[in-house]
Amino acid sequence: MTCQGIDLLSTKAAGDDHGENSSYFDGWKAYDTNPFDLRHNRGGVIQMGLAENQLSLDLIEEWSKNHPDASICTPEGVSQFKRIANFQDYHGLPEFRKAMAQFMGQVRGGKATFDPDRVVMSGGATGAQETLAFCLANPGEAFLVPTPYYPAFDRDCCWRSGIKLLPIECHSFNDFRLTKEALVSAYDGARRQGISVKGILITNPSNPLGTITDRDTLAMLATFATEHRVHLVCDEIYAGSVFATPEYVSIAEVIERGVPWCNRDLIHIVYSLSKDFGLPGFRVGIIYSYNDAVVAAARRMSSFGLVSSQTQYFLSRMLSDEEFIGRFLQESKRRLAARHERFTSGLREVGIGCLRGNAGLFSWMDLRRMLREKTAEAELELWRVIVHQVKLNVSPGTSFHCREPGWFRVCHANMDDETMEVALGRIHDFVRQHQQRRVKAERWAANRQLRLSLPHHHHLNPAHLSSPLALLSPQSPMVRATS
């Protein structure tokens, strides 16, 4: 576009603050230009940067075939065509809101109840987060977010609303757990800078860590929010993807049973069917707020991102089938657990560890020992090698605002078993090559040190002089990144 063309646009349209100039999205672009395919392009880039759940879609497909009346585009369901096709109420179909509230309770093991009248629709969790940002804060005001956090929050929450996200620094020495000390430090630091803190945003289960927030921490957050009159937004988009102990705890359960005296007007939940159900294309996001004014305002805003009435109708029928949902959730957790174990055990075979996780569609992989040095630049250097040479689109920790270089999020639920084995094979080959280079480098360094320490009158073995290790500098222990 010419400069003249740019001048015709708004500042927002012409600007570059959307957030796509990030290594998180750059990896996706590398995949898009050369996507892996088992049959047609086995040398392509494998997508391991997309948190998508494809492990249980066959169960939904089977339900759809067995319930043709759930669609208004079949002979069995066409009698509802006119009603659904003409539905325009941005409150949403009553049966959809009722089914969604029921489903949210079922996902949380019946330990919390949800009121259909507080369910507000949105175009995916992306739209839900932005709507809450508009409802809860003014431009320039801030939300505190524990690190590492989902990179697209910078887009979802900030791009159009103008609010800020400020980090609550968490660390690997305690498995990146959020502490009250870190929260208070971030809050006080923002206040010293003259920034108005309007809320706290967490993901539970965590993206990218794959861990859950425990009951005591949630109670601490609800208490802090009440005492400081700030909002608490809990993104629970992976609530149904907890596949191992400890059990998941929702903020809804905590405020009902743990700290019932907290100010519920400050508590808000974001949910979606994109992850637990593997239906991101349906664009079903949910805002659930305990604040009447927020529900009213968010519902008015939802007219900018409604879920199609056809989608609502189909989902209301499926989510109301409690027996099917119970089987689906159980089988989905079983498959997620099996995939997580296979992938992490495959990494352990070559000495690669991950943060111990029990939720989500990914693992937080520890490659700190493979860094040339402990810097963000070295992490990105390693990442470029993995993307362009190993051809795996993994996401570097720096893109998640992690301050400790060497952590990577690796998604492993968005592919079939055979593709995952190909990915593990590539990781194995890369790590072993790296280890071989490191051994050669260490031998060369030790040999050189030995020669330097020998007396000047010492006669060197001619065979030793002809050794490549004695005469040649080794290759770098890190494969050089391509530009």
Active-site residue set: 150, 235, 237, 275
Contacts of 55 (CB under 8 A, 6+ apart): 278, 332, 335, 336, 339, 413
- If you ran DSSP here, which 8-state letter would residue 478 be given? S
What's the chain's length in residues?
Answer: 483
- If you ran DSSP here, which 8-state letter would residue 238 be given? T
Strands of 407-411's sheet in order across: 353-354, 362-366, 407-411, 395-396
User: Do residues 407 and 366 make contact, with C-beta atoms less than 8 angstroms apart?
Assistant: yes
Burial class (CB in 10 A: 0-12, 13-18, 19+), 151: buried
The Cα 337–Cα 59 span in angstroms is: 17
Please list the alpha-helical segments (H only) found in 349-416.
376-385
CA angle 31, 34, 39 (to 5 degrees): 110
> In the chain, how long is the greatest CA-to-CA distance?
101
Buried b (16+ CB within 10 A) or exposed e, 211-229: bbbebebbbbbbbbbbeee
